[in-house]
């Protein structure tokens, strides 16, 4: 049976699917028009990627023909089927998709020139037309778009024709130039800490983006560095993998320790802006780790998670601020933290108890409701004697740690504090996942009824997930309130819950590393609900990008960026079983003599 599966010539590979190419052309045309009308080209034009040739605004359109052409040309290679021979027809197909996408823009330009639909569509503006025609005549602009689109589509199609090595190199170069350009604030700040301003001054244009020479340098480095050190790293990794298990785990532990130490030193080399940014990322890492326990491990879809963040923040504010309207013990932060943890745990129990008996959609909706109820309670006049209503609580002191005070004006200290708590949260998640409780959570996620029948008290186990998640969120809330120094109900809107959930889903549900990656990518680059990210220009399109990313993830990679092995198995059950069968890991019902 396996012989047929491995024989590539058994089945004839399907030819080029032209209908698919045409479909992708149409998608490209619609995407281009949509992006243009969403205002991205105009809104993002001020930020350069490579000065002066490429701005983020143009990039928001130019990726479409390239990426769609290469997507249209990609093909699922099934086991037992040879890959199709690629030839010039693939180039033509790519060019077709590119042309299609460009035609979308051309059509839009004609419409914008001749009709005025500015009333419903705010971005239907002369500026858009001007930008799309590259500040020249409309006809020339259209021609340019056709040429650009076709060329980029051709390149996208060519990605499948060239050898894999070349493709990988091209992608590395393109991605590193983009990344270095996007990470400008961060890198400048970091290299300044090491007194290497010369380098960043050389590659970056002052008002954002790389210089052309800088971009070339980055491209050269992107090719050269893997050539120089790539082999050595590969060798090291192979050596670690060959080690016996206990030695390997020890090496991993050492590496982890070194990584943690480096992270703790990092803040001292960073400037204010970057520290502030990373502190925000850290707060969301904390929240996402907590939600990961509830959603990722126990499988309880909690859409009101922000409630615990709010309770943590408000409790800290009440207990530490001298301005707290009702009750103001002015406790030091570490003492208050104990009360915060206990209280948020209790709120977790209180909210969890009625919610836990529900399942699926009902549970999600009820948690959504509770999240809003908590915010409205803090906002209400009824409790404004305690929590200040819409005025919130101000003048929250920082955290006094003996050698200094952690407060918002000193982002470095905040980042350090956040790092410590992230460490605690990671440890808690890791230990609990591999314990009796973690196994029970997983069993409940798999099949709640059976878990109950196998002796797992599902009510108390699910409540535990709620409480642990709540406590981790309360850490984040406590730091948040000491960092910002004042607290208002508007910081705890439903959007926060949704964004934390998106971070967990995009990063990889049920995986600690995945959740951290998700928070760094989404909050760090795009920004949180109110916090700006590295690309501040993207601020107004944040939710659009979040949404698009989420849809794409759900369609193409539901297990997230860094998947949990178990979860991706669950989501790709059939493929996994097929692979296992091909590897001979599936056992057949045995025919051998029972003796």
DSSP state of 266: G
Does residue number 580 form part of the binding site for another protein (CB under 8 A)?
A: yes
Site string for another protein, 97-116 (x = CB under 8 A): --------------------
Q: How is residue 334 written in tokens?
A: 């570490």
Binding residue (CB under 8 A) for another protein from 63, 75, 570, 582 = 570
Question: In terms of CB distance, is 137 or 460 closer to another protein?
Answer: 460
Tokens 């740690």 correspond to 401
Does residue number 442 form part of the binding site for another protein (CB under 8 A)?
A: yes
Binding residue (CB under 8 A) for another protein from 109, 437, 470, 509 = 437
Cβ atoms within 10 A of the Cβ of 230, count? 10
Does residue number 294 form part of the binding site for another protein (CB under 8 A)?
A: no
Tokens 């780790």 correspond to 289
Does residue number 248 form part of the binding site for another protein (CB under 8 A)?
A: no
Does residue number 588 form part of the binding site for another protein (CB under 8 A)?
A: yes
Does residue number 464 form part of the binding site for another protein (CB under 8 A)?
A: yes
Does residue number 455 form part of the binding site for another protein (CB under 8 A)?
A: yes
Cα–Cα dist 394/416, whole Å: 23
Give strand ranges (E) for 433-581. none
Residues whose CB falls within 8 Å of the CB of residue 58, separated by 6 or more in sequence, listed in order: 41, 45
Does residue number 457 form part of the binding site for another protein (CB under 8 A)?
A: yes
Question: In terms of CB distance, is 116 or 459 closer to another protein?
Answer: 459
Question: In terms of CB distance, is 199 or 581 closer to another protein?
Answer: 581
Tokens 């590393």 correspond to 513
The answer to whether 406 touches 417, Cβ cutoff 8 Å, is yes
b/e burial code for range 77-101 (CB count within 10 A of at least 16 → b): eeeebeebebeeebbbbbbbbbbbb
Does residue number 431 form part of the binding site for another protein (CB under 8 A)?
A: yes
Question: In terms of CB distance, is 77 or 577 closer to another protein?
Answer: 577
Question: In terms of CB distance, is 206 or 434 closer to another protein?
Answer: 434
Give the side-chain half-sphere CA count within 13 A for 44: 27
Question: In terms of CB distance, is 257 or 326 closer to another protein?
Answer: 257
Question: In terms of CB distance, is 127 or 435 closer to another protein?
Answer: 435
Nearest distance from residue 594's CB to another protein, in Å? 4
Does residue number 427 form part of the binding site for another protein (CB under 8 A)?
A: yes
Does residue number 381 form part of the binding site for another protein (CB under 8 A)?
A: no
Does the CA dihedral 416-418-421-427 come out positive or negative? negative
The answer to whether 186 touches 271, Cβ cutoff 8 Å, is no
Does residue number 432 form part of the binding site for another protein (CB under 8 A)?
A: yes
Q: Write 261-265 long-range contacts (CB < 8 A, 24+).
A: 263/419, 264/416, 264/419
Cα–Cα dist 507/550, whole Å: 11
Binding segment (CB under 8 A) for another protein, from list 130-138, 212-220, 381-389, 423-431: 423-431
Question: In terms of CB distance, is 28 or 438 closer to another protein?
Answer: 438
Burial class from Cβ neighbours inside 10 Å (0-12, 13-18, 19+) for residue 429 reads: buried
Does residue number 468 form part of the binding site for another protein (CB under 8 A)?
A: yes
Q: What are phi and psi of 115, to 5 degrees?
A: -125, 160
Binding segment (CB under 8 A) for another protein, from list 371-379, 446-454, 488-496, 501-509: 446-454
Nearest distance from residue 574's CB to another protein, in Å? 10
Does residue number 436 form part of the binding site for another protein (CB under 8 A)?
A: yes
CA nearest 263: which of 285, 247, 238, 246? Answer: 285
Nearest distance from residue 339's CB to another protein, in Å? 19
CA nearest 416: which of 268, 557, 300, 544? Answer: 268
Cα–Cα dist 311/336, whole Å: 13
Question: In terms of CB distance, is 125 or 578 closer to another protein?
Answer: 578
Cα–Cα dist 315/325, whole Å: 13
Q: How is residue 133 written in tokens?
A: 């025609």
Binding residue (CB under 8 A) for another protein from 29, 95, 210, 440 = 440
Does residue number 450 form part of the binding site for another protein (CB under 8 A)?
A: yes
Cα–Cα dist 126/157, whole Å: 33
Does residue number 585 form part of the binding site for another protein (CB under 8 A)?
A: yes
Does residue number 244 form part of the binding site for another protein (CB under 8 A)?
A: no
Does residue number 586 form part of the binding site for another protein (CB under 8 A)?
A: yes
Cα–Cα dist 556/551, whole Å: 9
Question: In terms of CB distance, is 174 or 442 closer to another protein?
Answer: 442
Query: Site size for another protein, by CB under 8 A?
Result: 45
Binding segment (CB under 8 A) for another protein, from list 199-207, 251-259, 289-297, 576-584: 576-584
Binding segment (CB under 8 A) for another protein, from list 5-13, 77-85, 265-273, 456-464: 456-464
Cβ atoms within 10 A of the Cβ of 422, count? 23
Does residue number 566 form part of the binding site for another protein (CB under 8 A)?
A: yes
Cite the DSSP H helix spans in 356-410. 360-379, 384-387
Does residue number 212 form part of the binding site for another protein (CB under 8 A)?
A: no
Cα–Cα dist 129/558, whole Å: 38
Does residue number 589 form part of the binding site for another protein (CB under 8 A)?
A: yes
Using CB under 8 A, list all residues that contact another protein.
427-428, 431-432, 434-440, 442-443, 446-447, 449-459, 464, 468, 566-567, 569-570, 573, 576-577, 580, 585-591, 593-594
């Amino acid at each position: 049976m396996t012989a047929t599966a491995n024989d590539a010539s058994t089945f004839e590979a399907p030819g080029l699917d032209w209908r698919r190419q045409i479909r992708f052309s149409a998608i490209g045309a619609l995407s281009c028009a949509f992006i243009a009308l969403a205002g991205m080209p105009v809104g993002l034009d001020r930020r350069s990627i490579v000065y002066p040739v490429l701005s983020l605004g143009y990039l928001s359109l130019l990726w479409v023909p390239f990426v769609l052409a290469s997507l249209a040309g990609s093909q699922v290679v099934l086991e037992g089927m040879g890959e199709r021979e690629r030839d010039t027809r693939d180039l033509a197909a790519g060019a077709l998709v590119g042309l299609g996408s460009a035609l979308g823009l051309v059509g839009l330009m004609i419409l914008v020139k001749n009709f005025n639909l500015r009333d419903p569509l705010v971005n239907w503006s002369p500026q858009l037309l001007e930008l799309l025609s590259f500040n020249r005549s409309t006809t020339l602009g259209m021609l340019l778009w056709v040429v650009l689109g076709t060329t980029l589509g051709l390149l996208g199609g060519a990605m499948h024709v060239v050898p894999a090595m070349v493709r990988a190199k091209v992608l590395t170069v393109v991605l590193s130039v983009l990344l270095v350009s996007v990470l400008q604030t961060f890198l400048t700040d970091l290299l300044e800490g090491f007194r290497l301003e010369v380098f960043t001054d050389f590659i970056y244009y002052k008002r954002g983006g790389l210089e052309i020479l800088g971009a070339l340098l980055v491209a050269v480095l992107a090719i050269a560095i893997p050539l120089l050190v790539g082999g050595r790293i590969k060798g090291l990794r192979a050596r670690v993998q060959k080690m016996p298990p206990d030695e390997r785990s020890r090496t991993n532990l050492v590496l982890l320790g070194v990584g943690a130490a480096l992270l703790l030193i990092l803040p001292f080399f960073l400037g204010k802006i970057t520290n502030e940014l990373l502190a925000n990322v850290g707060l969301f890492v904390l929240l996402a780790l907590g939600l990961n326990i509830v959603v990722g491990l126990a499988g309880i879809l909690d859409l009101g998670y922000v409630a615990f963040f709010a309770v943590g923040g408000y409790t800290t504010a009440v207990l530490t601020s001298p301005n707290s309207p009702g009750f103001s013990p002015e406790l030091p932060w570490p003492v208050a933290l104990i009360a915060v943890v206990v209280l948020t745990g209790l709120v977790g129990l209180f909210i969890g108890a009625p919610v836990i008996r529900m399942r699926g959609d009902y549970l999600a909706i009820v948690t959504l409701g509770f999240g809003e109820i908590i915010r409205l309670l803090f906002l209400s006049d009824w409790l404004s004697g305690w929590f200040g209503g819409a005025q919130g609580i101000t003048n929250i002191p920082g955290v006094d740690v003996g050698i200094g005070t952690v407060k918002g004006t000193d982002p470095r200290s905040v980042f350090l504090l956040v790092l410590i708590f992230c460490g605690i949260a990671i440890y808690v998640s890791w230990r609990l996942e591999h314990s009796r409780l973690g196994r029970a959570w997983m069993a409940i996620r798999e099949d709640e009824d059976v878990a109950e029948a196998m002796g797992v008290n599902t009510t108390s186990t699910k409540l535990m997930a709620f409480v642990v998640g709540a406590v981790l969120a309360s850490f984040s809330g406590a730091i948040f309130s000491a960092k910002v120094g004042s607290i208002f109900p508007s910081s705890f809107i439903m959007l926060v819950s949704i964004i934390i959930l998106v971070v967990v889903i995009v990063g990889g549900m049920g995986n600690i590393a995945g959740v951290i990656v998700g928070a760094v990518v989404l909050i760090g680059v795009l920004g949180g609900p109110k916090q700006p990210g590295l690309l501040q220009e993207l601020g107004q399109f944040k939710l659009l990008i979040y949404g698009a990313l989420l849809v794409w993830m759900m369609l193409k990679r539901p297990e997230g960026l860094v998947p949990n092995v178990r979860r991706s198995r669950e989501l790709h059950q059939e493929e996994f079983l097929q692979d296992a069968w091909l590897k001979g890991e599936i056992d057949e019902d045995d025919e051998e003599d029972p003796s």
